[in-house]
Amino acid sequence: MRTSRAPASRSSEASHSAASLSPSEAEGRSIAQSRSRRSRSQGSSRPGRAGAALVSGSAIGANGRDRDLKLGPRAADLKLMHADKDTRRRAPRELAVQAMGVLGAAGGGLAVATALLPPPAEGSEASILIAGVVAGLIGAVLLLRRPTLSDPLLGVLTLVGTALVTISTHEGGVIGGAADNQMLYLWIVLYAFYFLSLRGALLQTAIVGGAYAWLLSTQEVTSNQATTQWLVTMTTLLVVGFVVARLRGNIYRMVEELSERAYKDPLTGLLNRSALKDRVAAERAQAVRDGIPLSVLAIDIDGFKELNDSLGHARGDEVLEEVAAALVLSTRSHDVVARIGGDEFAVLLPGATEAAGRAVAEGVRREVGRALRRENDGITVSVGVATGQNPMPSFEDLLRKADLAMYAGKRAGGNRVSAQTR
């Protein structure tokens, strides 16, 4: 166990940090400090960048395989979390393929049944059977194989469905068994408006309108009757299609909101414990594959209970928000920052050695002190660091070690960084 106490004065702390920086790091600090001064002069309410937390990539590890550890501010982006956005994109695509399969199998079965059952078709029953078999085969392949299809290919299959419905309806005739197959156009339009883009759905509906107009032109009806029938049918299809599209948009929006609520801490906007666990699995697996270290920071606000008791929970919530902002500012863009409960936070540092993790932790401690010094609350944090490498311990073990180190620092007086590697 090793702990580092905060320096007694800001000047000694700054001189010590400056002496330990390489020329490139000193330049990075100068840039960060100038940006911080410029931000304050412009009246920005955001805390300045923790310039002393700039760490060279060479501190990470050997062979140049480890990631660059230069720190910089960034905003937590939930949509990038564990490829959640990609997952949400794939799910509708898979559902679209399955739905296409169901429609193909059901439509094919109906076409075959109407061809075999009385009354006989006015045209070629063989054509109706072929259309039904083709639709059924497409549906069976999609349901059994469940291939990954692009939007353009789904659009092509929708066009094929329109063609098969048109053929079977035309060959069935006005009084044939397949005469009412034109109702299957509703399937086409509903599918298009739910699974395709609005432009694609309108294009499919226009093609359906053209096919239906051609069907009416081949039937023994007057032009006025055909026009009225076409207008009523197509208006109905469009209205139903737009209603489905609106419902789809509302559903996707609610799913997105629920997903964010499930992974987002409502007070600080950071990831919550559940989201942290999801991210850990992917980061730990990559660290094992690449043979790189993985560090975890456990962070706890010193004297938070006393602050709540003396200044009230409203001020306590403000402190939590300010600490969260300081954590975001003092960590890298690909680090994982989470609030795991109460006044406890955790940071996952992919590719960070113990030395690099301690440097990040010191940057976090200093940034929190700078961010909250203006409120004169005397708020500080204790940070525990734990690092693992092959054989990589579980995240629970790393977090437990980081917690033990953090509480050891709190017992020693708080406002310090402690590391435990065993």
Q: At 58, list the tokens.
A: 């060479």
Model confidence pTM above 0.75:
no
Compute the radius of gyration of the chain from its Cα atoms. 32
Nearest-CA neighbor of 319 among 47, 71, 38? 47
Angle between helices 313-329 and 304-311 (to 10 degrees): 140
Which parts of 196-222 fold into alpha helices (H)?
Answer: 198-218
Determine contact, residues 112/129, Cβ cutoff 8 Å: yes
pLDDT given for residue 389 in this prediction:
84
pLDDT tens sequence for the chain (422 residues): 555 544 443 333 333 333 333 333 343 344 334 333 333 333 333 333 333 333 333 333 333 333 333 333 344 344 444 444 444 444 578 999 999 999 999 999 999 998 888 888 888 889 999 999 999 999 999 999 999 899 999 999 999 999 999 999 988 876 655 556 778 899 999 999 999 999 999 999 999 999 999 999 998 889 999 999 999 999 999 999 999 999 999 988 898 888 777 888 989 989 998 888 888 888 888 888 899 999 999 999 998 988 888 888 898 999 999 999 999 998 988 899 999 989 999 999 999 999 999 999 999 999 988 887 765 567 899 999 999 987 888 888 999 999 999 999 999 999 999 987 55
**Token pair 């061809």: residue:** 115
pLDDT given for residue 421 in this prediction:
53
Nearest-CA neighbor of 294 among 61, 1, 25, 57? 61
pLDDT given for residue 179 in this prediction:
56
pLDDT given for residue 221 in this prediction:
85
The H or E element spanning position 341 is strand 336-341
CB atoms within 10 A of CB 92: 16
> Residues in the chain, how many?
422
pLDDT given for residue 15 in this prediction:
37
pLDDT given for residue 71 in this prediction:
34
pLDDT given for residue 177 in this prediction:
54
